[in-house]
Amino acid sequence: QVQLVESGGGSVQSGGSLRLSCTTSRDTLSKRHMGWFRRAPGKEHEAVAVIGTDGSTIYAEYVKGRFTISRDNAKNTLYLQMNSLKAEDTAMYFCAATVAGLQWSFPLRPSRYAYWGQGTQVTVSS
């Protein structure tokens, strides 16, 4: 079973930075595509950034240049560095993983991810 535990959320002012972490089960990062998604109150899940098993990354347009997704396979941890935060980045942020061996297609679609963490709240005040 894949376990995903997010941490690092909090409250910051506009322009500030946060780094989210997602601790996973052993070998998860090497066998599964991973992603960060978010959900604001009253809205659907939306993609933030994803990383494939080969290290390929894709970012949603609204975070390009500000957020960076990375992973440390040895520590079984996925990261999301968030800089220049804006009020509209306020949301619950979730770490997600695909099933092992899934093709790298439509990676920004939440439906491609079978496993989800509980989420960590990010609040940005203007």
- Tell me which amino acid residue 113 is: Y
Report which of 116, 120, 74, 117 is spatially closest to residue 98, judged by C-alpha positions.
116
- Tell me which amino acid residue 33 is: H
More confident: 28 or 12: 12
Over residues 17-66, the pLDDT tens digits come to: 999 999 999 989 999 999 999 999 999 999 999 999 999 999 999 999 99
Task: Compute, in degrees rounded to 10, the torsion defined by CA atoms 27, 28, 29, 33.
Answer: 140
Over residues 68-116, the pLDDT tens digits come to: 999 999 999 999 999 999 999 999 999 999 999 999 989 999 999 999 9
Alpha-carbon gap, residue 111 to 20, rounded angstroms: 22
